Each structure stands twice: as structure tokens, then as C-alpha cells.
């Protein structure tokens, strides 16, 4: 029997449970029951209403839009809800193979809202975000009436927004109706940009706006450049490299043209023109310290990782990827990275080291993805991705040909012409851009004029000027006097003494009163470095050189150490002991005589397009000579082998290296800027002793001396340079020709260039591993008996044999070439040419046509 208290307790519990159930159903949204329709579609039953279930809830804007459309058709598969707002009529598809939901609007009218839902049966749950990406809405616009007016700007914007939800066919129709929507200034804002980490300029049919990862007017992300360089590093085909870089430049030109200059400089790993002498010069230890401090590693750990990997950039990238940060740093922009690198380069003084490290750390912690790799490589001074300057010029020309700059924007000119016609256009653009850059190697001025007026006006607006050094014309070597006659047969040519000195390009600008401005005169090396401080004595004597009527000029000369007491020329080794900077002419300890042999510019007019005969005539008319200080290069116009032979012997007796043989008249006698030309041949006394030319090689390793050479390095591993792969390829082991003083000097010179392990861009055989590895900095001139193919060396590998390189037989040290940078050493292609030029090889192998072509160096 139940007591009253138990009954009360039971009723109370029952009431509480009933209230909980009621509360649950009030607070919990009702889920309609699902059944299958005849066609397999899901149908809901809610108070007698049956309608297909949509996998995605209507957004407020969609509900509002659907309620504003009136139904005018009947459907057997849908029922109208009682006492509720009128529903859209829905037709359920019976096909199980249909694609996900497709909405089709046949006509956009006030009384037409027939909508067909084609939905697959077997659907699994997707998040709204995933379903939104899968749904495709195809909207067919009503055909315009005849005589209709062109769309207004508001209509254009409305249609532009529709581009996000229409299919490709309808999208093309809208683009046509909007009349070149690409020219609308806010188009890039309406088109969804690519994610930065998905940026890919290597894709086919690249669109400079739609495939970019930034919008018009926005700063170019540094990650966009890093992604471009990463693709280039993984590509060996030169034409593909040019295409990738060109696509990136096209986007920069169209969206943010002001960032094109820093993009170019960062691709070349430069901060300014060479004659500004602005370099980063960050020591490896400082970079390792910055990486370690930012990632919680010790300096020893970073060093060990770099030694194993051989690439500090890769180590920095891996360390940054493993680091977790609480707050994300601001994303890097190209303009800010470039400005920071310039700021680091300008830092000097005792406290500059810590300032540089702090600045590097601020950049490094903000790196994403592969940015750290290329940031550190830029700070090192070498990208090492196989991107040469000529490739950058080619890519820029291709970008301008494909997407011409100007008010009438054309995104892809190749679509409007045949392949052959476009190829010819690109070749024309490449020739103009290269020639202009040779005459005016200033990227800021070249890009300014290129973006303003295009290629057509580039040559007239951007030409040679005083103060901007040219890359000099160079000569090809030849082994015998008979080769000279074979090259210049039936042509007028002249022979000049080849002096054993340093190339000097003297610039004298004009003052406002059309008088020469000697105060701002400058002297540049063959590397375009400013050597003005090295030759104060030469500058002080300039007024004695110029005759009346000369207001400005550019002279091509050779500075040679000179013994004034005996009136004799001294070897290059004496000149190399001259200080790199002298306070005044009185501080000079090694006097020089300047031998002038060419005139490139006179009184505001470039002369590089004139014949040598004309340039030489103007030179002798407008300039004086003074024995021991200013002299014209001794020359003689020859026509026979005997004349050339006798003149060569005279040059050798006068302490010269040999002869320079030059075309005198005709188009082939023009001054070819930055080219190693067959119109100039050099015939040195060494050639008659064996190999056709000495080789300028780079020291990449050293071997410790033994016996009497103990305490210094007794031998060296030297390499040539391959600009295409950006590798230093082993050429030979050099151990003869040195005096004790030479070995001591080289050992001292290499101390500051010692590194822990060989660079990843050193190509050598492990059998020649050095005792000590050095950075590629010191260039030496080497003479040899001949050249041979070798399985143990890598110079010019795959050019002559798939698995063998070229090595020097019986190499001998000649001198240190302080006037040359490592990248200006003898190239792999030149080594291959020297091998093929040997008499014993000439008779066996047909010479390739490329061996006789001139090219940029």
C-alpha cells in the first residue's frame, strides 16, 4: 500500500519530469523526419507538409530573395504549407547520378521563379563551408534587346559581382557585355585573389590579375617573390625559368608597378647599381647567431646544421618552420624587405654589428613558408638558383611584350597574334632591352622609361650618359698569327699593344657652362666599381689631357705601373700593390701611366655606334699626350702575317703582354658593350708557348703545405664559373709556379675567406676534397700546357662529354687577379672553347657554331 507521502513524492517527480520534457522540446529545434520519395530524394513531413530537404540552410539574404519571387507553375511533388507564407515550388530529380545542387533561372522576371533542384541521393554530411564550395549556381541573363544602350557603371559592377557564382560559359557572356571589364580600376578587388602560399607563376595561361596573390595597389608580398624563386630553383630549363619570372613581373607591372624595381634588384641579389659599391657584407657568423637567437638554438648547433646541409638558407627555413610563436608577426612585403636590406648595408661603426643582427632578426621572425631561405641567401649575397642577369633582362622583355605597359591595358598580347609573330616580337623586345641596359646599366632609369613609354621609346629616352659606367668590350683569344688573318681576311684591321695593367674607364662630365667638370670626374674598373679614390694622381692630371672644345667625354684606357726614372713599364704585380684608396696624389707610391685606346662619348654624343676608325680619329684630334702620364696605345695597321709577327715581337720587348687585333672599319668595328667579341682578338706571347689563353680560376679550397712549405698552403683547388648553373666547377689542383712570397701572400689573403664546409654550389669530385675550404673570392691567373677531358674534374661537364669535365695539364700560377670578381673568372663555356681550339682537337672534332658567336658576358 502506498502512503500519501509516497504518492505526493511520486506526483511531484512525475510533474518535474513532465516539465523537463516540455522544456526540452521547447528549447530544442524540431528535426523533421526524413523519408524517401519515389525518385530517391529525401522528403520531410512536418504537420502534413512534404518538401525536399535542402542540405544547406537558407541564409537570410537567400530567404529574402526567394520570398520576393512569385510562383507561377505547379508541382506534384511539393505541397503548400497551410496558413504560412507561400513556398517556392520545388521539383525533385529522380536521377541518382545528378551532380550536386544546381539552380537554374531561365528568365529573371517578376512572375517567374521556377527552380529545379538536382540533388544526388547518397549524400553525407558536409559543413556549410564545404557545401558552399561545392554548389554551383548557373544564372542565365536575359538577352539584351536590339538597340539597347551600353551598360552603366552600376550595372557593370552588378555583373562583375555575378562572376563569382556563374559558370564559365555565362561568365564569358557577361565579360563580353561589360566591354573589357579588365580595364575597370576596381576589377582586381572584385576577383578573389589567390592565397599567398598557393601562388604559382609557372602555370600555363597565367593571368596577371586573377592568378596573383595580391590586389591592385597593394604592396607585393615577399612570399610571392619567394615562391617565384622557389619554382625557379627547381627548374633547369632556361626558357621555363624566363617564363616563370616573366609571369611574376607581369603581375607586378599591372597591380603594383612601383614595386618592380626592388623585385628586379632582389632577383639579382643587388641593392643598387654596381658603381654605387653598396653591398651587404654580412659575415656568416652573424647570420648564424641571428638564426640561433630567434629559434632557441646555440651557435654550435646552427653551425653543425649548416655544415651538414651546405646551405644556410635551407637551415634557416627548417628552423623557422619548427618554431612556434604566440603572435604572428606582420607579413613581409617586398618594398619593406628591400628597404631593410639597404638600411643594413649602410650601417657602419662599432655598434653596427648588433644593429645589423637586430634588423636581421626582425625580418627573420616574420618569415613564412620559404621566405626564410631566400632572405638568408640574400643576406649572404648569393641566391644560387641559376638566375643570371641575362635571364632577368629576357624575362622583363617577355613581360613587356606579353603585357605592354600603357593606358590601354592589354593583359595577353600573344592571344591576338600568331605564334611566329609573337616570337619575333619577343626577340625584338629582348634585343632592345639588352642593348639599352648595356648603354645605361641603371635599373631605376630603365624601368621608369619602360613603364612610361614602352619599348618603342626606350632607346631614345634611356641612353648612355656620363657618370654611369659601361661594361667594356672584351676580346677573344687566338693561338696563332695565322688565325688573325683567317678572321680578318679582306678586312681592314689594326694591331695595338696589349698592356699588362688594369682596365680604367674615365668619365668627365660637363659643367653648366659647357666646360669640363673635373671636380666630378670618375674612374671605374671593368667591374663597374668606382676606383676614383685609387687614382687621385690621374684625376689631378686630367686637365692636361683634354684640348679646348672638349666639355665631356668617356675614355677607355689601361692604367699601367710605370717606372718614371727608367721610362719602363712595370708588371701588373707592382700595380696590384697600390693602395685601394689614396688621400691625395702625394700619397701615391706606385705611379701609373694611362694608355688611352678608345673614345666612347664626346661632348654629349655617344660614339659606341661609330666605327673604330672614326673613334680613333676623334680621340687623336681632341686629346693630348704626355710621356709617362698620358699616352695613346701604340698601334699599327697591318695587312700581312709578317707585319703582325714583327709587331708582336716589338710589343713583347716593350714589356707588353702581346697584341690586341681589332676590326678597323665597317659595322663589325663598332664598340660592342658587354660583349666578348671576335671582332677583337688578343694575341699574347704565352699563346705561342702552348695554350691559346691563360685561365682566370677561382680558389675554392687549399691544401696544407709540407716540408719547406709547412706553415702555409702548398696547393689550391681552383675552379671555373658556370653562370647558367651558378656553380664553381673544379678545374685542377694548382701547386707550381709559386714563389715563397706568393704562397705566404695567398695564405694570408685566404684567412678571411675560410669556411667550415664546401658550398652546395661547388661541383668537385670527392677525391679532390681540400684540407681547408674557402669562399669563392680570390681569382688567380693560371697558365697550362694544354687542356684534356678528365673524369676527376667538373669544368664544362656535359658540354663536351656527358660524364667528364675539362682539366688543365701542367698548370702554373701566374698572378692574383685582384681586378676580377669570382663571377668574372673564366666561364665553363670559355673552357670548352679553349679545349676545342687546340690543334689536336680541331682535326678531330667539328667546331660547333656557338664557338664562333659573340655573346654577353
3-state helix/strand/coil string of 537-556:
HHHHCHHHHECCCCCCEEEE
Min mean pLDDT across 112-126, 205-219, 632-646 is at: 112-126
Q: Is the pLDDT of residue 144 over 50?
A: no
* Rounded average pLDDT over 807-828: 90
* Rounded average pLDDT over 199-225: 96
pLDDT digits (tens, 9 = 90+) for 513-530: 999 999 999 999 988 999
- 417 or 165, higher pLDDT: 417
**Cβ distance 390 to 241 under 8 Å?**
no
Main-chain phi, psi angles of 107, to 5 degrees: -145, 140
The pLDDT value given to residue 210: 95
Mean pLDDT rounded to a whole number for the chain: 80
Main-chain phi, psi angles of 823, to 5 degrees: -70, -10
> Cα(724)–Cα(726) distance, rounded to whole angstroms?
6
Min mean pLDDT across 60-69, 210-219, 557-566, 629-638 is at: 60-69
pLDDT confidence band for 851 (50 / 70 / 90)? very low
The pLDDT value given to residue 500: 92
Q: Is 708 tagged catalytic? A: no
Residue 227, all three cell numbers: 615562391
Min mean pLDDT across 162-166, 490-494, 699-703 is at: 162-166
The pLDDT value given to residue 583: 60
Min mean pLDDT across 172-176, 447-451, 688-692 is at: 172-176
The pLDDT value given to residue 460: 82
The pLDDT value given to residue 810: 87
Q: Is the pLDDT of residue 188 over 50?
A: no
The pLDDT value given to residue 693: 66
Q: Is the pLDDT of residue 271 over 90?
A: yes
The pLDDT value given to residue 284: 87
Min mean pLDDT across 139-153, 341-355, 473-487, 815-829 is at: 139-153
Show Cβ contacts of residue 687 under 8 Å, excluding neighbours closer than 6 positions. Answer: 477, 478, 479, 480, 658, 693
The pLDDT value given to residue 553: 98
- 557 or 836, higher pLDDT: 557
Q: Which of 170, 227, 165 is nearest to 190 (CA)?
A: 165
Angle at 781 (CA atoms; ends 776, 787), nearest 5 degrees: 100
> Cα(743)–Cα(69) distance, rounded to whole angstroms?
93
Q: Is the pLDDT of residue 112 over 60?
A: no
* Rounded average pLDDT over 498-519: 95
Q: Is the pLDDT of residue 211 over 90?
A: yes
Residue the block writes with cell 664626346? 602
pLDDT confidence band for 134 (50 / 70 / 90)? low
pLDDT confidence band for 86 (50 / 70 / 90)? very low
- 153 or 434, higher pLDDT: 434
Label the pairing between strands 90-92 and 115-117. parallel
Label the pairing between strands 762-763 and 727-734. parallel
pLDDT confidence band for 280 (50 / 70 / 90)? confident
pLDDT confidence band for 818 (50 / 70 / 90)? confident
3-state secondary structure of 288: helix
Model's pTM, two decimal places?
A: 0.71
The pLDDT value given to residue 735: 93
The pLDDT value given to residue 191: 64
DSSP state of 583: S
* Rounded average pLDDT over 355-373: 95
Q: Is the pLDDT of residue 11 over 60?
A: no
**Cβ distance 229 to 240 under 8 Å?**
no
Min mean pLDDT across 29-33, 561-565, 753-757 is at: 29-33
Measured from the Cβ of residue 595, the count of other Cβ atoms closer than 10 Å reads: 23
> Cα(737)–Cα(578) distance, rounded to whole angstroms?
23
pLDDT confidence band for 424 (50 / 70 / 90)? very high
Min mean pLDDT across 149-153, 341-345, 787-791 is at: 149-153
**Cβ distance 475 to 488 under 8 Å?**
no
The residue from 119, 193, 227, 498 that is catalytic is 498
The pLDDT value given to residue 221: 98
pLDDT confidence band for 422 (50 / 70 / 90)? very high
Min mean pLDDT across 189-203, 438-452, 459-473, 503-517 is at: 189-203
- 724 or 597, higher pLDDT: 597
* Rounded average pLDDT over 15-36: 49
Measured from the Cβ of residue 504, the count of other Cβ atoms closer than 10 Å reads: 25
The pLDDT value given to residue 844: 61
3-state secondary structure of 284: helix
pLDDT digits (tens, 9 = 90+) for 447-492: 999 999 889 888 888 889 999 999 999 998 887 788 888 888 889 9
* Rounded average pLDDT over 504-520: 96
Q: Is the pLDDT of residue 106 over 60?
A: no
Residue 697's DSSP bridge partners are: 780
Amino acid at each position: 500500500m502506498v502512503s500519501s507521502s509516497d504518492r505526493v513524492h511520486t506526483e511531484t517527480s512525475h510533474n518535474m519530469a513532465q516539465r523537463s520534457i516540455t522544456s526540452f522540446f521547447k528549447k530544442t529545434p524540431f528535426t523533421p523526419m526524413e523519408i524517401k520519395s519515389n525518385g530517391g530524394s529525401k522528403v520531410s513531413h512536418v504537420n502534413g507538409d512534404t518538401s525536399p530537404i535542402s542540405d544547406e540552410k537558407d541564409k537570410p539574404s537567400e530567404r529574402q530573395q526567394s520570398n520576393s519571387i512569385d510562383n507561377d507553375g505547379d508541382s506534384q511533388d511539393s505541397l503548400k504549407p497551410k496558413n504560412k507564407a507561400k513556398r517556392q515550388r520545388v521539383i525533385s530529380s529522380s536521377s541518382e547520378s545528378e551532380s550536386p545542387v544546381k539552380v537554374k533561372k531561365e528568365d529573371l522576371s517578376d512572375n517567374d521563379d521556377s527552380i529545379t533542384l538536382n540533388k544526388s541521393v547518397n549524400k553525407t554530411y558536409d559543413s556549410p563551408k564545404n557545401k558552399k564550395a561545392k554548389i554551383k549556381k548557373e544564372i542565365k541573363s536575359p538577352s539584351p534587346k536590339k538597340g539597347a544602350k551600353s551598360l552603366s557603371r552600376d550595372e557593370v559592377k552588378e555583373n562583375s559581382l555575378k562572376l563569382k557564382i556563374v559558370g564559365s560559359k555565362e561568365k564569358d557572356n557577361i565579360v563580353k557585355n561589360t566591354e573589357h571589364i579588365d580595364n575597370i580600376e576596381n576589377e582586381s578587388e572584385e576577383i578573389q585573389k589567390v592565397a599567398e602560399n598557393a601562388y604559382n607563376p609557372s602555370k600555363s595561361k597565367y593571368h596577371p590579375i586573377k592568378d596573383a596573390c595580391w590586389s591592385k595597389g597593394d604592396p607585393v608580398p615577399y612570399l610571392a617573390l619567394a615562391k617565384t624563386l622557389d619554382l625557379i630553383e627547381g627548374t633547369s630549363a632556361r626558357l621555363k625559368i624566363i617564363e616563370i619570372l616573366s609571369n611574376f613581373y607581369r603581375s607586378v607591372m599591372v597591380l603594383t608597378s612601383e614595386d618592380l624595381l626592388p623585385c628586379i634588384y632582389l632577383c639579382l641579389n643587388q641593392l643598387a647599381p654596381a658603381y654605387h659599391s653598396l653591398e651587404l657584407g654580412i659575415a656568416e657568423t652573424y647570420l648564424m647567431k641571428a638564426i640561433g637567437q630567434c629559434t632557441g638554438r646555440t651557435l654550435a648547433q646552427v653551425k653543425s646544421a649548416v655544415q651538414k646541409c651546405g646551405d644556410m638558407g635551407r637551415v634557416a627555413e627548417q628552423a623557422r618552420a619548427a618554431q612556434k610563436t604566440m603572435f604572428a608577426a606582420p607579413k613581409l612585403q617586398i618594398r619593406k624587405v628591400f628597404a631593410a636590406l639597404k638600411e643594413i648595408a649602410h650601417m657602419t661603426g662599432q655598434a653596427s654589428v648588433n644593429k645589423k643582427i637586430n634588423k636581421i632578426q626582425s625580418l627573420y621572425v616574420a618569415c613564412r613558408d620559404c621566405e626564410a631561405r631566400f632572405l638568408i641567401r640574400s643576406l649572404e649575397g648569393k641566391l644560387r638558383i641559376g638566375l643570371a642577369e641575362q635571364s632577368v633582362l629576357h624575362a622583363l622583355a617577355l613581360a613587356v611584350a606579353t603585357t605592354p605597359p600603357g593606358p590601354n591595358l592589354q593583359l595577353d598580347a600573344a592571344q591576338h597574334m600568331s605564334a611566329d609573330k609573337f616570337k619575333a616580337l619577343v626577340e625584338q623586345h629582348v634585343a632592345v632591352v639588352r642593348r639599352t641596359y648595356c648603354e645605361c646599366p641603371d635599373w631605376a632609369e630603365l624601368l621608369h622609361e619602360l613603364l612610361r613609354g614602352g619599348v618603342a621609346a626606350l632607346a631614345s629616352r634611356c641612353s648612355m650618359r656620363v657618370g654611369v659606367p659601361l661594361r667594356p668590350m672584351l676580346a677573344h683569344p687566338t693561338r696563332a698569327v695565322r688565325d688573325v688573318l683567317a678572321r680578318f681576311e679582306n678586312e681592314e684591321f689594326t694591331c695595338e699593344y696589349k698592356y699588362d695593367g688594369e682596365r680604367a674607364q674615365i668619365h668627365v662630365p660637363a659643367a653648366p657652362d659647357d666646360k669640363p667638370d673635373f671636380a666630378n670626374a670618375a674612374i671605374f674598373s671593368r667591374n663597374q666599381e668606382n676606383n676614383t679614390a685609387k687614382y687621385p694622381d690621374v684625376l689631378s692630371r686630367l686637365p692636361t689631357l683634354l684640348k679646348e672644345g672638349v666639355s665631356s667625354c668617356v675614355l677607355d684606357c689601361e692604367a699601367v705601373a710605370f717606372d718614371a726614372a727608367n721610362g719602363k713599364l712595370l708588371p701588373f704585380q707592382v700595380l696590384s700593390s697600390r693602395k685601394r684608396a689614396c688621400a691625395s696624389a702625394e700619397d701615391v707610391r706606385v705611379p701609373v701611366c694611362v694608355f688611352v685606346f678608345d673614345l666612347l662619348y664626346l661632348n654629349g654624343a655617344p660614339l659606341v655606334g661609330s666605327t673604330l676608325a672614326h673613334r680613333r680619329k676623334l680621340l687623336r684630334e681632341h686629346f693630348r699626350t704626355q710621356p709617362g702620364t698620358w699616352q695613346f696605345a701604340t698601334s699599327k695597321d697591318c695587312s700581312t702575317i709578317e707585319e703582325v709577327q714583327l709587331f708582336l715581337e716589338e710589343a713583347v720587348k716593350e714589356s707588353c703582354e702581346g697584341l690586341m687585333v681589332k676590326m678597323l672599319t665597317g659595322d663589325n668595328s663598332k664598340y660592342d658593350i658587354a660583349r666578348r667579341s671576335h671582332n677583337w682578338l688578343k694575341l699574347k706571347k704565352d699563346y705561342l708557348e702552348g695554350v691559346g689563353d691563360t685561365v682566370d680560376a677561382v680558389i675554392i679550397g687549399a691544401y696544407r703545405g709540407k716540408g719547406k712549405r709547412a706553415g702555409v698552403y702548398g696547393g689550391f683547388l681552383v675552379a671555373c664559373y658556370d653562370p647558367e648553373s651558378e656553380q664553381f666547377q673544379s678545374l685542377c689542383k694548382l701547386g707550381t709556379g709559386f714563389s715563397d712570397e706568393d704562397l705566404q701572400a695567398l695564405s694570408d689573403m685566404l684567412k678571411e675567406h675560410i669556411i667550415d664546409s664546401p658550398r652546395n654550389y661547388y661541383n668537385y669530385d670527392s677525391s679532390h676534397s681540400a684540407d681547408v675550404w674557402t669562399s669563392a673570392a680570390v681569382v688567380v691567373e693560371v697558365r697550362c700546357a694544354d687542356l684534356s677531358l678528365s673524369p676527376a674534374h667538373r669544368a664544362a661537364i656535359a658540354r663536351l662529354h656527358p660524364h667528364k669535365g675539362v682539366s688543365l695539364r701542367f698548370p702554373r700560377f701566374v698572378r692574383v687577379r685582384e681586378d676580377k670578381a669570382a663571377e668574372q673568372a673564366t666561364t665553363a663555356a670559355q673552357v670548352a672553347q679553349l679545349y676545342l681550339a687546340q690543334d689536336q682537337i680541331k682535326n678531330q672534332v667539328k667546331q660547333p657554331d656557338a664557338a664562333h658567336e659573340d655573346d654577353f658576358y
